[in-house]
Amino acid sequence: PGGEIAHIDLDQSNYSGALRLNAPLPGIESINGRIGYSDYKHKEIVLGEGLLSTFSNKEWEGRVEMLHGGFGAITSGALGVQWGDRDFSALGEGADYLAPSNTQMLGGYVFERLALTDTLELEGAARIESVRVTGATNVLGNVTREFSPFSIAAGASFRPVESFAFSINLSQTERAPNVVELFAQGSHE
């Protein structure tokens, strides 16, 4: 608020790992896996008043993806699954702004590349998610909202000579709202 001198004391730890299996089966170029964990916390401190709010976010995220080679007119592609789990909380004045929440996400996607001729190539991709956000507000109490965002993309590339190409891409993308968009109770710096 008006004229306060504030700063944050931030602490963040990130851990991740990945695994890649090359050519595990005929027709499959690789299977890739990745997992990560993030632990984020920041304290909002106002000069002369001290610690006013603490925000904490703990999040797991993982992905498994299979890349395949060509078959028929399809030159390459990928299939994958992604998941996430996020716990958010606020203490102090921040608790008036946003109550603790949990977001769970599971998504699947596909990408394929198709060669129609030596000079004309098409690409297509689609992704669907299931997102479940649980939180609370003073007015509504505990609330669980579920979303199913769907995204799709298509493209074409015409390469009349090796060093030059004409390309066009179209996409329609959706995302689920985040906890702040769903459950924030007023403004916060």
Tens digit of pLDDT for each residue in 116-174? 999 999 999 999 999 999 999 888 899 999 999 999 999 999 999 989 999 999 999 99
**Rg, the chain, Cα only:** 23
Q: Are strands 141-147 and 101-115 parallel, antiparallel or unpaired?
A: unpaired
Whole-model pTM: value is 0.85
User: What average pLDDT does the chain have?
Assistant: 92
- In the prediction, which pLDDT does 1 show? 47
Which carries the bigger pLDDT value, residue 90 or residue 125? 125
Tell the burial category of 23 from Cβ atoms under 10 Å away from its Cβ (0-12, 13-18, 19+): exposed
Between the two ends of the chain, the Cα-to-Cα distance in Å is 8
